[in-house]
């Protein structure tokens, strides 16, 4: 296996997709079939690490088509994805009974994680650091005053979202990075055209977008995730919808009112998945349908719905057709609180988390929780969440505020 055009942010699909399919369907044979190829790709990435600096040099693409991609230090993203590959290989080796491999990959993971935190994060501020490498981009070279130099802060949305989503930050750096990510979203930002974009603009590209909204919800910033989703000014998810889109575009600026097609016709798909990665957040967080990593294939799964805290969205409903049957999830704000309806398919079970501080505020199918059949109370709301175990069935919860 050799170099590819895009680099590890694309090439890691050979490892990540195999793991994702296993988690989705629970077929361990698939991981066994792909294990040797997964190992070879990781070995290839490791061969691209500079023995003196520790920096991985295998690109060229970073957070592709980001409005502020020129500010990024792409080697940080390559290192974060290499870490994700090592994490998956550690878990895969354990599942396949390859103990020695698992120990090697775990050790490499810890070494590279330390390198990432020491190299790409300022210990005092938690801000992302640049090494002076310039991102690949279209158009003329950047003016000298726009070029980041070694030691400069990167301080972009992607530079915080990707490490947070991948879980590669140390505990010392994590809290500061969350705060810094929030700041990058709440402020105005200058794009590659030198134009200042408004607060809550989507400044990420193909890679950062997949991590941005997940990083927010993983760290308790659901209100900010919803607000980003609901923006209609450029650049945002709904800007294209506002301008007639019925599919996801390749570029945030595939078409704009101000500049039309902006000379993008040489590479301008109007049916492209990448920015549509937000759909995963809609399933995992808004509807709250999540996999249980210890029980792949949805034999047991997680339900953790997150209604819009600002109530701009008043309801959401959807389903996933698992191999055991249809999993349904729906919530709706009411005058007294919110309602939640869920379907757990036959021969499965689910852990449900409801955001409330007391089981006394929850009714299920018109009854108190303690009197309901098929429900085991695991937590009564001591941590502002009620945790329940559900057997197969259909449930309608009423949660009072």
pLDDT grade for 134, boundaries at 50, 70 and 90: confident
Domain boundary among 249, 280, 311: 280
The answer to whether residue 2 sits within a structural domain is no
Residues 254 and 322 in one domain: no
Task: Grade residue 138 by pLDDT with cuts at 50, 70 and 90.
Answer: low
Question: Which among 280, 304, 334 is the end of a domain?
Answer: 280
Residues 88 and 152 both lie in one domain: yes
Give yes or no: residues 230 and 377 share one domain: no
Residue 3 lies inside a defined structural domain of this protein? no
Does 174 fall in a domain?
A: yes
Residue 273, in any domain of the structure: yes
pLDDT tens across 300-317, in order? 999 999 999 999 999 999
Confidence of residue 1 (pLDDT cuts 50, 70, 90): very low
Q: Tell me: do 322 and 227 sit in the same domain.
A: no
Are 156 and 272 in a shared domain? yes
CATH code (residue 269): 1.50.10.10
| Peptide bond connecting 316 to the previous residue in cis, omega within 30 degrees of 0 | no
Residues 274 and 383 in one domain: no
Which pLDDT belongs to residue 2?
44
- Domain identity same for 276 and 292: no
Query: CA-to-CA distance for 127 and 62, rounded, in angstroms?
Result: 19
Q: Are residues 200 and 318 in the same domain?
A: no
Residue finishing a domain among 242, 264, 280 = 280
- pTM of the predicted protein model: 0.95
- Total domains in the fold of the chain: 2
* Contact present, 203 and 191 (Cβ < 8 Å): yes
Judge if 272 and 311 occupy the same domain. Answer: no
- CATH code of the domain containing 385: 2.60.420.10
Q: Clarify whether residues 303 and 268 are in a common domain.
A: no
Interval 246-297: pLDDT, tens: 999 998 988 888 888 876 666 888 888 889 999 999 999 999 999 999 999 9
Do 132 and 261 belong together in one domain? yes
Task: Give the CB-side neighbour count of residue 354, counting CA atoms within 13 A.
Answer: 34
Q: Same domain, yes or no, for 275 and 291? A: no
Token output for 39: 């190992």
**Read out DSSP for 114-152?**
HHHHHHHB-TTT--BB--SPPPP-SSSPPPGGGS--TT-
Q: Are 15 and 89 in contact (CB under 8 A)?
A: yes
DSSP-assigned letters across all residues of 42-88: HHHHHHTB-TTT--B---S-SSTT-TTGGG--HHHHHHHHHHHHHHH
Residue range(s) defining the domain that contains residue 312: 287-400
């Amino acid at each position: 296996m050799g170099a590819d055009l895009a680099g590890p942010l694309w090439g890691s699909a050979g490892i990540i997709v195999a793991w994702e399919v296993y988690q989705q369907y629970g077929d361990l044979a698939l991981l066994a079939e792909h294990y040797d190829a997964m190992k070879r790709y990781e070995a290839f990435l490791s061969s691209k690490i500079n023995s003196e600096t520790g920096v991985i040099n295998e690109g060229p693409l970073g957070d592709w088509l980001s409005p502020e991609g020129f500010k990024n230090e792409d080697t940080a993203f390559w290192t974060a994805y290499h870490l994700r590959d090592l994490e998956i290989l550690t878990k895969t080796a354990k599942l396949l009974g390859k103990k020695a491999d698992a120990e090697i990959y775990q050790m490499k993971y810890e070494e590279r994680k330390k390198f990432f935190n020491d190299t790409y994060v300022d210990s005092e501020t938690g801000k992302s650091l640049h090494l002076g490498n310039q991102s690949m981009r279209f158009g003329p070279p950047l003016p000298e005053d726009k070029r980041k130099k070694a030691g400069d802060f990167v301080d972009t949305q992607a530079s915080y979202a990707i490490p947070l989503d991948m879980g590669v930050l140390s505990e010392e750096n994590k809290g500061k990075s969350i705060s810094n990510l929030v700041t990058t979203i709440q402020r105005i930002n200058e794009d590659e055209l030198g134009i200042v974009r408004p607060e809550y603009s989507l400044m990420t590209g193909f890679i950062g977008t997949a991590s941005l909204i997940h990083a927010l919800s993983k760290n308790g910033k659901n209100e900010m995730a919803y607000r980003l989703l609901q923006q209609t000014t450029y650049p945002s998810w709904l800007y294209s919808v506002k301008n007639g889109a019925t599919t996801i575009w390749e570029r945030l600026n595939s078409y704009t009112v101000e500049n039309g097609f902006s000379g993008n016709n040489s590479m301008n798909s109007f049916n492209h998945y990448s920015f549509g990665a937000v759909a995963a957040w809609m399933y995992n967080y808004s509807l709250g349908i999540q996999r249980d990593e210890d029980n792949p294939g949805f034999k047991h799964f997680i339900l953790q719905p997150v209604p819009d805290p600002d109530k701009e969205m008043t309801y959401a409903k959807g389903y996933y057709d698992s191999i055991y049957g249809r999993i349904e999830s729906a919530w709706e704000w009411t005058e007294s609180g919110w309602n939640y309806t869920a379907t757990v398919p036959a021969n499965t079970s689910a852990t449900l988390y409801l955001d409330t501080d007391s089981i006394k505020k929850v009714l299920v199918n018109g009854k108190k929780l303690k009197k309901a059949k098929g429900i085991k109370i695991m937590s009564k709301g001591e941590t502002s969440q009620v945790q329940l175990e559900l057997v197969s069935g259909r449930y309608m919860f009423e949660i009072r505020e």
